[in-house]
Amino acid sequence: MPSVAFYTLGCKVNHYETEAMWQLFQKNGYERVEFDSKADVYVINTCTVTNTGDKKSRQIIRRAIRKNPDAVICVAGCYAQTSPAEVLAIPGVDVVIGTQDRTKIIEYVEQYKRMRQPINGVHNIMKNRVFEEMDVPTFTDRTRASLKIQEGCNNFCTFCIIPWARGLMRSRDPKAVIRQAQQLVDAGYKEIVLTGIHTGGYGQDLKDYSLAMLLEDLEKEVSGLKRLRISSIEASQLTDEVIDVIDRSNIIVRHMHVPLQSGSDSVLKRMRRKYTMAEYEERILKLKQALPDVAITSDVIVGFPGETEEEFLETYKFIEKHQFAELHVFPYSKRTGTPAARMENQVPEEIKERRVHRLISLSDRLANQYTSRFEGKELEVIPEGVYKEDAKGTFLEGYSDNYIKVVFPGSEEMIGQIVRVKITKAGYPYSEGKWVRVLDDLNDHERLVINQ
Ligand code: SF4
């Protein structure tokens, strides 16, 4: 049996697509082996979001070539899409595929084996207007299933290279989304995370269909789906219609990741983000009104070119005022090829670092405040794995619907199930709890009664 090994760099979407490519290899009789072992085919799914992503991708490619110089080396993903010539110039690279035509990977590998000629399968991504359908009915090692619903982004924020790597917005056919969701539920997943490059933009390119409609249809048509999470949604995409669907839903979780990037209108303008702080604020207040316990998490870029102390403080105060449940803080890093990399007034590294620390301490404080609201309460947690095993027994870790990481004593059979856990000690990065019952044997009516 021929063997294949994968290495994935970057985001959740890349991880999803690695699974999709693995499905294709599996159907063609391959076995999957660890990346560090000797394989017949290596697939490196690359990332290009920062300059370091490119460098790391090159290192991994070289590592695969060293492992087995006779293997077929395939390089896929964002870095391959933006710099195919650079990738092909690495001696030992055999097949390059970007962020489309991944369904042809087996064909390319076979062709390479016959002809022994390097293959460049990368084409202009900007011309592509169709979502590439790839089946992922199960995941290799996860308890939470992702479901990719869209590709690409039309926004062209000034710091971001992603539209050049992924192309323009393409939504997956709603019927395919629902079919895939049902397959995932049938495979035993309790929670599905809708993912994409610009997930909340789903439907923008579809006629008479929207994200709100997809959310409703998933709840109506997928039997047995217990939890539905949206990986990320822009404030402007939290329309009244979407908030209304979330409010009425029994399965959409009380957690929204709403990228902020900056809390200052002047910085947002330089970033070419498409909202003002007043608009962002209005949307999240509306969301909180509908779901008072919602956890709002966000991404913030610190030290964007020209960011003054005043602009930084506007961001800081906004986050403090709205009590975000957790922040992902990134120091601005120049991405070659983007307008922001060429801007003047780049912020010195030490200032960026100080600002990053201030925001991380704020995030820690707010996260503790948020979780403390749930001390003594019961939450539904899906354990994802073993946190530790010691003399006191096995401790599991997992996330509640509102994205609190909870550690509690339990048994391995609970992994992947919905477990009702009482929070005994709230904290961050994790809270401690004690399980009350496994909800799996309950029917939906019983679940509802317990939830009320
Ligand atoms: S919205 Fe902006 S940051 Fe996000 S993928 Fe699109 S261009 Fe990049």
Tell me which residue of 65, 231, 139 sits closest to 416, measured CA to CA.
Answer: 139
Same domain flag for 366 and 384: no
**Residue 440: predicted pLDDT:** 65
pLDDT interval class at 410 (50, 70, 90): very high
Q: Is it the case that residue 154 has pLDDT exceeding 60?
A: yes
Most confident of 125-129, 175-179, 288-292: 175-179
- Report the alpha-carbon distance of residue 249 to residue 194 in Å, rounded: 15
Is residue 138 a part of any domain in this protein? no
**Residue 50: predicted pLDDT:** 86
CATH number at residue 340: 3.80.30.20
Spacing, Cα 209 to ligand 1 middle (Å): 22
**Residue 134: predicted pLDDT:** 93
Domain boundary among 372, 399, 415: 372
Which tokens is 209 given?
């269909």
- Report the alpha-carbon distance of residue 136 to residue 385 in Å, rounded: 21
Same domain flag for 444 and 388: yes
Spacing, Cα 156 to ligand 1 middle (Å): 6
**Residue 449: predicted pLDDT:** 45
Sign of CA dihedral 374, 375, 380, 385: positive
Minimal-distance CA residue to ligand 1 atom 8: 160
Span between the terminal Cα atoms of the chain, in Å: 53
Which pLDDT tens digit goes with each residue over 19-40?
Answer: 999 999 999 999 999 999 999 9
Is residue 140 a part of any domain in this protein? no
Same domain flag for 185 and 262: yes
What is the per-residue DSSP string for 246-281? HHH-SSB-SEEE---B-S-HHHHHHHT-S--HHHHH
Same domain flag for 50 and 75: yes
Same domain flag for 367 and 404: no
**Residue 444: predicted pLDDT:** 52
**Residue 53: predicted pLDDT:** 85
Minimal-distance CA residue to ligand 1 atom 2: 157
Is residue 264 a part of any domain in this protein? yes
Same domain flag for 179 and 293: yes
**Beta strands 41-46; 72-77: pairing state:** parallel
Spacing, Cα 335 to ligand 1 middle (Å): 13
Sign of CA dihedral 316, 320, 322, 323: positive
Mean pLDDT of 259-276: 97
Query: What is the distance, to the nearest Å, from the Cα of residue 449 to the centroid of all Cα atoms in its chain?
Result: 32
Domain boundary among 372, 404, 421: 372
Mean pLDDT of 79-92: 95
Spacing, Cα 155 to ligand 1 middle (Å): 6
Which pLDDT tens digit goes with each residue over 114-128?
Answer: 999 999 999 999 989
> CA torsion 429→433→436→442, rounded to 10°?
0
Q: Is it the case that residue 284 has pLDDT exceeding 90?
A: yes
Please tell me the total count of domains within the chain.
3
Question: Probe ligand 1: pick from 50, 162, 233, 300, max atoms within 8 Å of CB?
Answer: 162
Same domain flag for 245 and 357: yes
Which tokens is 72 given?
């077929």
**Residue 251: predicted pLDDT:** 96
Spacing, Cα 164 to ligand 1 middle (Å): 10
**Residue 283: predicted pLDDT:** 98
Round the average pLDDT of the chain to a whole number and report it.
94
Is residue 438 a part of any domain in this protein? yes
Which pLDDT tens digit goes with each residue over 440-451?
Answer: 655 554 444 444
Spacing, Cα 88 to ligand 1 middle (Å): 27
User: Which atom of ligand 1 is found nearest the CA of 163?
Assistant: 7
- Three-class SS of 33-50: CCCCCCCCEEEEEECCCC
Give the domain range for residue 81: 3-123
- Report the alpha-carbon distance of residue 182 to residue 199 in Å, rounded: 19
Same domain flag for 412 and 287: no
Spacing, Cα 302 to ligand 1 middle (Å): 16
CATH number at residue 15: 3.40.50.12160
- Least confident among 105-109, 135-139, 167-171, 294-298: 135-139
Q: Is it the case that residue 229 has pLDDT exceeding 50?
A: yes
**Residue 293: predicted pLDDT:** 95
Query: What is the distance, to the nearest Å, from the Cα of residue 202 to the centroid of all Cα atoms in its chain?
Result: 15
Is residue 395 a part of any domain in this protein? yes
Mean pLDDT of 173-191: 96
CB under 6 Å to ligand 1: residues? 153, 155-157, 160, 162-163, 197-198
Query: Is 212 in contact with 241 (CB distance < 8 Å)?
Result: yes
Q: Up-side HSE of residue 307: CA atoms within 13 Å toward CB?
A: 29
User: Which atom of ligand 1 is found nearest the CA of 160?
Assistant: 8
Same domain flag for 235 and 99: no
Q: Is it the case that residue 52 has pLDDT exceeding 70?
A: yes
User: Which atom of ligand 1 is found nearest the CA of 234?
Assistant: 1
Same domain flag for 307 and 390: no
Q: Classify residue 28 by burial, with Cβ atoms within 10 Å: 0-12, 13-18, 19+.
A: middle
Tell me which residue of 107, 116, 151 sits closest to 17, measured CA to CA.
Answer: 151
Same domain flag for 360 and 384: no
- Report the alpha-carbon distance of residue 425 to residue 409 in Å, rounded: 13
Spacing, Cα 231 to ligand 1 middle (Å): 14
Question: Probe ligand 1: pick from 48, 49, 157, max atoms within 8 Å of CB?
Answer: 157
Question: Probe ligand 1: pick from 12, 155, 237, 274, max atoms within 8 Å of CB?
Answer: 155
Same domain flag for 301 and 199: yes
- Report the alpha-carbon distance of residue 43 to residue 46 in Å, rounded: 9
Domain boundary among 328, 346, 372: 372
Minimal-distance CA residue to ligand 1 atom 1: 155
Percent of the chain with pLDDT strictly greater than 90: 93
pLDDT interval class at 354 (50, 70, 90): very high
**Residue 140: predicted pLDDT:** 81
